[in-house]
């Protein structure tokens, strides 16, 4: 007799469900793991980097705010970022020494000289200072990742939140600036937090939401004067909220809730909330400056460069006149108003893009930065999430499932859309085109929108889900491959090692690669080999034991420069001659001055005076840079410092042969024409 066979029950995936509590624990573990990965990549990579150009200024200013209650240093970048990053210094390094307060340098608030002394001449450990302040900013970077996750999760569910979180955690842009002691990341955090908090507060009131909204907006106004952008965004969001079909829910203690359904009650609510947040932000600004109008406790001390607010206000147009009027009646602290006017006075600055130079900027500068400095997979994920976001099918309903109500669900994406539109309206209009970092506030918003791709993460759409997985893997590979050189990252649209031909300054070369240069020199050069260095930054090469002859590409040399064959290490910003003496392309005016100085020295047979010698050496360096721009470097360090092995024959060709480039227009003429035509 054949034994009967029992049919085993068919196993179905849906028949096994993970308990809800386990899901929460698993999700929490993944989120914490992502945060740990982010801080490891950020702090691990920055330990191999020297101070970037602005970090010394931010840190020195913040330390003076805490210890001296003096706000003249670096007032153009608010107050909160500097205080936050230097809080570890006040807490754990009480032995730090600061420059003498009776020196002319301090009395005139010469920030760069004071910062150089604080870091390099007083015996303070610059490495510990950098690590402590950068770690403080790294904590904020984790907060940005958390904000992105929770905002995306509220819209697209846990899967959408994780997609957004991974993009934020592994973003080369976030890793580049989430580890630097500057104001950019705190501004980014408080901007995103303000947009979300204001939107939520316009729909549902509670004391907690009011406190969060007021705190976010106050923090934003203490980060940068560009915080005023939150005002038009909030106005547009408020007008949308006041449309007839919207209802505002007011929740008060004891679990009571009321609906404001009439137009009048909702208008009164918006006005009341605006007043509360405005008073909180206004009070916070005064508190950050010690409730004192004067920037310095000593009335005899001046601001650097413009000395006082009246001077800078006269050089900064409408913004300056407004700041001057507010200062006259002491509406806001002097340092805060001076900072706003200072930024407006410096909107026109030399900039470089794809071999071109401008002082009035380009309308396509920031779109180009976004296109070449963002990993390409992000654009693919955004594209996959675009249609579900627009149709509303990607956005969760209040019950936690995907909604099919079209505009009713897509309505929740309005704050992100409005913020992006207004931000890019400003980016396209600004003349200050010096760095990709200025569009940093757009990235968290894009990461949140990318969470809409979670719509495709289902078995019915497995092809799209697989595509998203591959794009995320590609994105992660880009991030790991860029380690530790996140600041000099470019995507595949720019050939490897060619970034310096497209963007410079804080988009590529911000003075961060002195440690890497030291390692390269130890391996590739000998002690008796001539080494020349043109460094764009505020760190001291000598601090990293780099012995090299300074190449005068940023300023006139203090000592005569003897040009010989050897190894020339040139920062990308210096190579492109963006700033300093004789900026821009080598032109007929520079060539005429160069030949005149050379001829004078040759004809007299005597040493020329020190001033003429300084100019001749600086022009020699500029002519050499123009020659080197037209050939490939022999090596690169971190993507920001270019290495050239220059022989005697090549040096003679560069300094005495026909110039490699010769622009017909002088720098002054080119600037005047750009301003006259309004070139953008």
Cα(18)–Cα(25) distance, rounded to whole angstroms? Answer: 11
Same domain membership, residue 583 and residue 444 = no
Last residue of a domain, one of 453, 483, 500: 453
**pLDDT, tens digit, 9 for 90 and up, residues 289-331:** 999 999 988 877 777 766 677 777 777 788 888 988 999 999 9
Same domain membership, residue 245 and residue 358 = yes
pTM recorded for the entire structure: 0.93
Same domain membership, residue 558 and residue 409 = no
Cβ atoms of 187 and 223 within 8 Å: the answer is yes
* Helix, strand, coil percentages for the chain (3-state, nearest 5): 60, 5, 35
Last residue of a domain, one of 453, 480, 504: 453
Residue 641: is its pLDDT beyond 50? yes
The tokens for 488 are: 């000099």
**Residue 82 in domain:** yes
C-alpha distances out from residue 396 to 170, 195, 279, 410, 589, Å: 25, 19, 35, 9, 64
Same domain membership, residue 373 and residue 520 = no
As for how many domains the chain has, the answer is 2
pLDDT category at 659 given cuts 50, 70, 90 is: very high
Residue 481: is its pLDDT beyond 70? yes
User: Which residue stretches of 6-125 are H helix?
Assistant: 20-46, 55-68, 80-92, 104-107, 111-120
- Whole-number pLDDT of residue 3: 46
> If you write DSSP's letter for every residue of 436-477 in order, what string do you get?
GGGGTTHHHHHHHHHGGGGGG-SGGGHHHHHHHHHHHHHHHH
Beta pairing, strands 204-205 & 531-534: unpaired
Cβ atoms of 531 and 561 within 8 Å: the answer is no
Domain range for 174 is 55-99+128-453
Across the chain, mean pLDDT equals: 89
Same domain membership, residue 525 and residue 400 = no
Cα(417)–Cα(393) distance, rounded to whole angstroms? Answer: 16
Residue 245: is its pLDDT beyond 60? yes
pLDDT category at 218 given cuts 50, 70, 90 is: very high
Same domain membership, residue 641 and residue 557 = yes
Task: Give the H or E element holding residue 565.
Answer: none
Cβ atoms of 167 and 449 within 8 Å: the answer is no
Cα(9)–Cα(3) distance, rounded to whole angstroms? Answer: 18
Residue 607: is its pLDDT beyond 50? yes
**Residue 630 in domain:** yes
pLDDT category at 573 given cuts 50, 70, 90 is: very high
Same domain membership, residue 327 and residue 232 = yes
Same domain membership, residue 555 and residue 426 = no
- Whole-number pLDDT of residue 406: 52
Same domain membership, residue 440 and residue 519 = no
Dihedrals φ, ψ of 307, to 5°?
65, -50
**Residue 503 in domain:** no
Same domain membership, residue 548 and residue 437 = no
- Whole-number pLDDT of residue 307: 65
Centre a 10 Å sphere on the Cβ of residue 562 and count the other Cβ atoms it contains. 9
């Amino acid at each position: 007799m054949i034994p009967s066979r029992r049919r085993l029950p068919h196993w179905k995936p849906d028949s096994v469900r993970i308990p809800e509590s386990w899901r929460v624990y698993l999700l929490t573990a993944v989120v914490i793991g992502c945060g740990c990965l982010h801080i490891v990549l950020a702090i691990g990579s920055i330990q191999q980097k020297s101070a970037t150009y602005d970090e010394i200024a931010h840190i020195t200013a913040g330390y003076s705010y805490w210890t001296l209650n003096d706000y003249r240093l670096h007032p153009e970048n608010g107050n909160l970022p500097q205080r936050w990053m230097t809080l570890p210094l006040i807490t754990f390094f009480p032995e730090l020494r600061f420059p003498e307060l009776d020196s002319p340098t301090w009395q005139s608030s010469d920030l760069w000289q004071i910062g150089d002394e604080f870091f390099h001449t007083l015996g303070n450990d610059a490495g510990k200072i950098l690590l402590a302040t950068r770690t403080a900013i790294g904590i904020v970077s984790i907060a940005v990742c958390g904000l992105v996750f929770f905002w995306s999760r509220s819209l697209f569910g846990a899967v959408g939140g994780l997609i957004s979180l991974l993009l934020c955690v592994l973003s080369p842009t976030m890793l580049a600036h989430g580890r630097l002691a500057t104001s950019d990341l705190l501004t980014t955090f408080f901007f995103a937090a303000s947009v979300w908090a204001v939107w939520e507060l316009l729909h549902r009131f509670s004391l907690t939401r009011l406190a969060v909204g007021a705190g976010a907006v106050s923090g934003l106004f203490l980060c940068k004067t560009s915080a005023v952008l939150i005002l038009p965004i909030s106005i547009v969001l408020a007008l949308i909220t006041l449309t007839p079909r919207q209802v505002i829910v007011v929740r008060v203690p004891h679990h009571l809730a009321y609906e404001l359904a009439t137009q009048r009650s909702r208008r009164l609510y918006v006005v009341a909330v605006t007043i509360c947040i405005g008073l909180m932000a206004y009070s916070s600004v005064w508190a950050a400056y010690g409730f004192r109008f004067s920037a310095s406790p000593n009335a005899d001390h001046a601001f650097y460069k413009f000395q006082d607010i009246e001077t800078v206000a006269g050089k900064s147009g409408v913004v300056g006149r407004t700041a001057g009027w507010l200062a006259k009646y002491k509406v806001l602290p002097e340092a805060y108003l001076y900072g706003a006017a200072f930024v407006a006075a410096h909107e026109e600055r030399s900039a470089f893009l794809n071999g071109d130079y401008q002082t009035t900027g380009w309308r396509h500068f920031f779109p180009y930065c976004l296109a070449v400095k963002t990993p390409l997979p992000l654009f693919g994920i955004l594209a996959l999430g675009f249609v579900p976001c627009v149709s509303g099918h990607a956005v969760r309903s209040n019950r936690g499932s995907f909604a099919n109500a079209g505009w009713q669900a897509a309505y929740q994406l309005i704050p992100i859309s409005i913020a992006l539109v207004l931000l890019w309206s400003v980016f396209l209009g600004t003349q200050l085109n010096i760095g990709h970092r200025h569009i940093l506030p757009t990235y968290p918003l894009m990461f949140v929108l990318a969470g809409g791709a979670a719509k495709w993460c289902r078995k019915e759409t497995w092809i799209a889900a697989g595509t998203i997985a591959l794009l995320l893997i590609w994105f992660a590979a880009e991030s790991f491959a860029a380690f530790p050189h996140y600041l000099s990252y470019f995507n595949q649209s720019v050939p490897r090692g060619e970034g310096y031909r497209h963007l410079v300054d804080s988009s590529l070369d911000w003075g961060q690669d002195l440690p890497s240069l030291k390692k390269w020199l130890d391996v590739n050069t000998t002690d008796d080999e001539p080494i020349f260095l043109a460094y764009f930054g505020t760190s001291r090469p000598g601090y990293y034991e780099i012995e090299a002859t300074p190449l005068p590409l940023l300023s006139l040399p203090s000592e005569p420069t003897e040009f010989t064959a050897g190894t020339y290490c040139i920062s990308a910003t210096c190579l492109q001659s963006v700033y300093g003496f004789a900026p821009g392309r080598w032109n007929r005016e520079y060539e005429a001055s160069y030949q005149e100085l050379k001829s004078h020295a040759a004809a007299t047979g005597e040493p020329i005076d020190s001033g003429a010698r300084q100019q001749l050496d600086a022009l020699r360096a500029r002519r050499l840079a123009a020659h080197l721009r037209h050939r490939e470097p022999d090596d690169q360090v971190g993507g920001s410092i270019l290495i050239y092995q220059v022989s005697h024959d090549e040096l003679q060709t560069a300094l005495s042969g026909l110039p490699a480039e010769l622009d017909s227009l002088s720098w002054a003429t080119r600037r005047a024409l750009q301003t006259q035509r309004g070139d953008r």
